[in-house]
Amino acid sequence: MLKRHIPLKSLNTFGFDVEASMFLPVADTAILQNVWKTNLLSMSSPLILGSGSNILFKGDYPGLILQNLISGIDVVSENETHVCIRCGGGEVWHNVVMYSIQHNWGGLENMSLIPGTIGASPIQNIGAYGAELKDVFEELDAFDMWYGNMVKLKAADCAFGYRDSIFKQSGKVRFFITHVTLRLSKNPQVNVRYGDIASILEEWGITKPGIADVSRAVIHIRRSKLPDPAELGNCGSFFKNPVVRRETADALCAAHPDAKRFDQPDGTTKLAAGWLIDKAGWKGFRRGDAGVHEKQALVMVNYGTATGAEILSLAREIVEDIQAKFHVTLEMEVNTR
């Protein structure tokens, strides 16, 4: 049922006190078909909302918000080595990770505790600790809001990149992702090479880790570094790690030997945005109720009554300062509306 003037404070993890002009919960595809017939989708600038964990509202949203509440996890195919599960777009990502671990199906464990829903995961090509969605992605089903029909998209159709996809480019404001199918391994090979996973497992005395151990280590690391949105408004990582030319990274590291870099197979280098922000002196900075988290410089926080405009203004100031000091351009990972 279409609702009007709905408060969104509990539906965005920054906790901004804003409202939507129109709001429609979507629990099945029939609702999308029906609303498309009214021409409301073409007239109201629709915004698709999952759990609100990667969005910054600059103010009240004047159009229509569609909240993805489509649920369900079903095995759709399997063989001796792999299983494919089809997940409703409204399923919480971490719940799906836990479901896979309970069945000892590998591929998601390094992405434990990433906030958000399954339906939002292809948009960002979410990833963490050496794993990305594209590594386990099989296909997705989506409602095409331009033409009013269901479509099926494979990985090549989605144009996955680093925290990027067609859904942030040419397909923006076009597809409502109803289901995502993931291909998981029945013979999982753990990946402990990234971040502090290996050292945490060693500290715990685990020498032959399984996927449940890796997941537990990732959860431990994330909880130690990232604030809980229920306690402090934030959307997780606010900035992407910048990918630069190898020469740019070499020059930066020559000037700052402690800089964190990750050379890529294509000849580029990924730099740690958190290191850049920390080195520039922004970690723990606060202006009013808008600030940078004291433990993780990648995270912008709302200490109480900050507005989206105030958070965005501070973020842009940080981007300009990083450019001036290091000649590196930071990009915001969060979606602004």
Q: According to the model, what pLDDT value does residue 45 have?
A: 76
Of these residues, 163, 216, 222, 337, which one is catalytic? 163
CATH code at position 273 = 3.90.78.10
Pair 101, 60 in one domain: no
Check: CB of residue 121 under 8 Å from CB of residue 164: no
Of 68, 92, 113, the position where a domain reaches its end is 68
Pair 286, 326 in one domain: yes
Domain assignment present for 85: yes
Of these residues, 44, 100, 121, 237, which one is catalytic? 237
Which structural domain range is residue 94 located in? 73-185
> Catalytic residue at 333?
yes
Neighbours of 110 (CB within 10 A): 27
Whole-number Å distance between alpha carbons of 96 and 42: 33
Total domains present in the chain: 3
Whole-number Å distance between alpha carbons of 173 and 48: 8
Q: According to the model, what pLDDT value does residue 262 have?
A: 87
CATH code at position 11 = 3.30.43.10
CATH code at position 140 = 3.30.465.10
Neighbours of 337 (CB within 10 A): 18
Pair 103, 162 in one domain: yes
Per-residue pLDDT of the chain in tens (337 residues, 90 and over written 9): 899 999 999 999 999 999 999 999 999 999 999 999 988 887 777 999 998 988 999 999 999 999 999 999 999 999 999 999 999 999 999 999 999 999 999 999 999 999 999 999 999 999 999 999 999 999 999 999 999 999 999 999 999 998 899 998 888 889 999 999 999 999 999 999 887 999 999 999 999 999 999 999 999 999 998 898 989 999 989 999 999 999 999 999 999 999 989 898 889 999 999 999 999 999 999 999 999 999 999 999 999 999 999 999 999 999 999 999 999 999 998 888 8
Pair 82, 101 in one domain: yes
Q: According to the model, what pLDDT value does residue 195 have?
A: 75
Domain assignment present for 245: yes
Pair 149, 240 in one domain: no
Pair 57, 99 in one domain: no
Pair 151, 238 in one domain: no
Show contacts of 216-225: CB within 8 Å, 24+ apart. Answer: 217/192, 218/109, 218/110, 218/111, 218/112, 218/113, 218/128, 218/129, 219/112, 219/113, 221/129, 221/195, 221/196, 221/197, 222/112, 222/113, 222/128, 223/113, 224/295, 225/295, 225/296
Of 159, 185, 211, the position where a domain reaches its end is 185
**DSSP one-letter code for 313:** H
Pair 286, 259 in one domain: yes
Domain assignment present for 176: yes
Pair 176, 82 in one domain: yes
Domain assignment present for 192: no
Of these residues, 109, 139, 310, 333, which one is catalytic? 333
Domain assignment present for 156: yes
Of 185, 207, 225, the position where a domain reaches its end is 185
Pair 85, 63 in one domain: no
Domain assignment present for 178: yes
Q: What is the pTM of this model?
A: 0.89
> Catalytic residue at 237?
yes
Pair 53, 126 in one domain: no
Q: How far is CA 41 from each of CA 30, 67, 174, 175, rounded to the nearest angstrom?
A: 14, 13, 10, 11
Domain assignment present for 201: no
Pair 42, 124 in one domain: no
Domain assignment present for 174: yes
Q: According to the model, what pLDDT value does residue 302 have?
A: 97
